[in-house]
Structure formats: C-alpha cells, structure tokens
C-alpha cells in the first residue's frame, strides 16, 4: 500500500478557497486507491479547516527548521510526498530527499505564484506585463528551481503548461497537466437548477487573503458598478468571501446596491441562487474556482482575459470575457436581463466542465503517471540532471541555513 504524505502550506479549507477544494480533490483520488494519507502542516489551524480525520487521514503538526520533522518522516517512511505549493518544497524538500530518498516527490503548484505576483507588481507600476519581467523576478527563480527539484509538478492550466515549456524550457517529463477534478454535469443536475426568473442579483465570491480578489472587488466598485446601475437601477451585487478585510467592508452601501455579505457557509447555495457572477480580475494565475463553481451551479459569468485564462480551451465562455470595463458593465447588464443569452451561456458552462474538468477521465491519467514514474524513478531522475544539481546545491545551502536557525532558536 502506498503511504502518501502531504505537506500543506495551510490546513485544508474547501469552503474558503479554491486551493482548499483542489487539495480535497487530490486527497479523494489517493483515498480511492486505498492509499494511506497523512496531512502535515506547520500552519495554525483555523476554525474553518476541514476535519480530515473524519476521512481516515492522520493530521500532524510539524515545525519549520526543526529536526523533529526528520524523526517524523523516518518513522512514517512515505512512498509519495506531495508538497502543497513551492514554499513547502523549499522548507522540507531537502529533508525529504535526505531521509526518504526513494519517495516520489510531487509538487502541487496550485497556480504559478511567480506569474500572479509579477502581474500584480507590473499592474502596480502601471506597466505592461512582459516575459522579461517574469525572467527578472526572484519569485520566478525560486518556483522554477522547486519545479526542477521535484520528480513531477502538477500544473493546473494549459496556459501555465505552455509558459513552462516554451519560455522556461522545462522538460515536459517533469510536468503533468491536472486541472480541477470535477463531476460531470448531467441532465438530472441541470433540471434541479433554478430558472432565470427564480434567480436574483449579481454576485462576487472569493477568499480575501487572496490579493486578486481584493483588487477585483475594488475594481467592481470604482470602475463597473455605477455603469451597471445606470442600466439596471434596482440591481444588487452581493459580495461573499472568507477573511473580509476592513477595506472591503467599507464598500458596503445598501442604497447603491453594493452589499458586503461576508463568509458563505454554503458557497454553492449562494452561487446557484444568483443570476450572474462578476469577476473583473486584473491579475492572477491558475484556474479560478469561483468561475468553475459558477458553471457547476448553472450561473453565467463575466470575467476578464486573465480570469478565463487557460480555463475553457476552444469552448465558448459561459458568459462574456471583457477587459474594457465600460463594455464589461454593458455585457453584465445584457446577460442579466436577456434570458436567451443567459441560457446559451449556461450551456457553454456545461460543455466546459464536462470536457475539460471531468475527474473520471483525468484521475486514471494521474494515477497511471504516478505509477509509471515510480516504476522507473532512477531513470526518470537521471534524465533531469539540472534538477539533481539543484537538489544537491539546495540540500547543502538550505540544510545548513536551517540548522543555523534551529540552533539560534534553541
């Protein structure tokens, strides 16, 4: 039986973020194989964290820069170690390599952090996003190094796959395209959706620890909402999300129909009652959980090119993709009041989920890939010389820095 150790950047919060849902999807696939799963994290657990113990998963708190992790992993002897984001590989990767050299090391990138951060920095400077800016970024070097050190990295969007292969020349053998793993939307589910007439309001939903979401709501308020209200004087937008900041809370204005609702205990219920999802994302990366959730709930969405990036392949979007905010407002009003446009968008969302995110198609591909690499691990690593070089250098440098910090803390 495979023994899987997941080293989490945070504890799993599927109701708070798409990253939490993604992790739960991966865990579900491992459990389906009857693999033993242990989830460990150095983070503090919040009240919103899922109870993994109820799924038969061992939960372990671990410390940064502490040899107690070495004892823990030697005792556990995992056959697979999955790092939740590159920061966890930086912290614990060398310890895994030293204490369990034969364990398959998988990096779940969630999204490419360096892509999101560089876009944010360029936007803040008022500059166009360029490949050159990416190449200069310290975050880029850190995350690419982490990808190279691992046996395989899970990449969530085709845009990011193409970026890694064509701009950074990463060998495709250490990359694996794995979007969200979702259930197909069947006719029975579609019949349960609320009709156009039964739905009300625009909605935005997202975790406000995530900076693209903060920026998107500020953009909605400053650039878009007044234009929508000119078209639809009685319209309301309801803003939901975990970890609402004071800056976002101050935008609440019932008279203007801009309603800050806060954390949604049942995000799916909130989305399936809304008529349209708005997501004017100006920077970001990866696959946007709020937009796949909209499709699952039969709720059309308006977003930007960055919002929809790498998400729908050649299929039409389940709504509109628009970067000009005056046009964004017009398209929002159009889909809100035109039932025919709305229904066409809803059907496009079904196609996207069923053809791109079908877990019954994707899951066997993932498991086969894991098994193939494990069966030829030595050969697989031999073809990744740059990765083994970085592993060697990092093990030396990070190891002694970590030991220095540990000694200092004592």
| 33 CB neighbour count, 10 Å cutoff | 14
Task: Verify that 335 and 366 share a domain, yes or no.
Answer: no
pLDDT of residue 397: 66
Task: Verify that 284 and 304 share a domain, yes or no.
Answer: yes
Task: Verify that 209 and 271 share a domain, yes or no.
Answer: yes
287-309: per-residue pLDDT in tens? 999 999 999 999 999 999 999 99
For residue 145, the enclosing domain spans: 3-182+359-409
CA 73/CA 84 separation, integer angstroms? 16
pLDDT of residue 265: 86
Task: Read off the pLDDT band of 27 (50, 70, 90).
Answer: very high
312-343: per-residue pLDDT in tens? 999 999 999 999 999 999 999 999 999 999 99
> What's this model's pTM, rounded to 2 decimal places?
0.92
CA 74/CA 65 separation, integer angstroms? 16
CA triplet 12, 14, 18: central angle to 5 degrees? 105
Task: Read off the pLDDT band of 392 (50, 70, 90).
Answer: low
Looking at 168-182, 214-228, 386-400, which range is the least confident one?
386-400
**Length of the chain measured in residues:** 410
Q: What percent of the chain has pLDDT over 90?
A: 88
166 Cα distance to chain centroid: 22
Among 312, 330, 356, where does a domain finish?
A: 356
Among 315, 331, 356, where does a domain finish?
A: 356
Task: Verify that 322 and 370 share a domain, yes or no.
Answer: no
194-247: per-residue pLDDT in tens? 999 999 999 999 999 899 999 999 999 999 999 999 999 999 999 999 999 999
Q: What is residue 257's three-state secondary structure?
A: coil
CA 382/CA 79 separation, integer angstroms? 19
């Amino acid at each position: 039986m495979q023994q899987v150790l997941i080293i989490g950047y945070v504890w799993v919060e599927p109701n708070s973020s798409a990253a939490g849902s993604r992790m739960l999807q991966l865990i579900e696939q491992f459990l389906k194989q009857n693999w033993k799963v242990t989830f460990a994290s150095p983070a503090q657990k919040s009240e919103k964290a899922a109870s993994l113990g109820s799924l038969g998963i061992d939960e372990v708190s671990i410390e940064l820069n502490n040899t107690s992790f070495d004892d823990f992993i030697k005792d556990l002897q995992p056959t697979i170690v999955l790092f939740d984001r590159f920061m966890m590989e930086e912290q614990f990767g060398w310890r895994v390599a030293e204490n369990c050299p034969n364990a398959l090391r998988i990096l779940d990138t969630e999204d490419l952090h360096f892509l999101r951060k560089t876009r944010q920095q360029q936007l803040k400077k008022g500059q166009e996003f360029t490949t050159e800016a990416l190449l200069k970024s310290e975050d880029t070097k850190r995350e690419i190094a982490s990808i190279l050190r691992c046996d395989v990295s899970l990449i969530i969007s085709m845009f990011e796959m193409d970026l890694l292969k064509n701009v950074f020349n990463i060998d495709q053998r250490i990359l694996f395209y794995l979007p969200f793993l979702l259930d197909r939307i069947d006719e029975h589910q579609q019949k349960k959706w609320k009709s156009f007439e039964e739905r009300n309001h625009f909605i935005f939903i997202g975790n406000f620890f995530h900076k693209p979401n903060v920026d998107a709501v500020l953009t909605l308020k400053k650039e878009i909402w007044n234009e929508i209200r000119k078209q639809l004087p009685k319209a309301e937008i309801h803003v939901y999300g975990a970890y609402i900041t004071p800056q976002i809370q101050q935008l609440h204005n019932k008279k203007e129909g801009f309603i800050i609702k806060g954390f949604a205990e049942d995000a799916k219920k909130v989305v399936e009652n809304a008529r349209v999802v708005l997501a004017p994302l100006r920077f970001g990366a990866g696959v946007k959980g709020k937009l796949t959730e909209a499709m699952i709930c039969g709720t059309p969405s308006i977003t930007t090119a960055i919002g929809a990036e790498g998400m729908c392949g050649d299929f039409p979007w389940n709504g509109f993709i628009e970067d000009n905010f005056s046009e964004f407002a017009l398209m929002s009003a159009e889909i809100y009041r035109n039932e025919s446009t709305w229904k066409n968008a809803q059907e496009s969302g079904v196609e996207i989920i069923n053809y791109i995110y079908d877990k019954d198609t994707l899951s066997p591909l993932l498991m086969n890939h894991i098994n193939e690499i494990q069966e030829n691990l030595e050969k697989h690593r031999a073809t990744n010389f740059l990765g083994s070089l970085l592993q060697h250098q990092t093990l030396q440098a990070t190891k002694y820095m970590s030991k220095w910090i540990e000694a200092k803390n004592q």
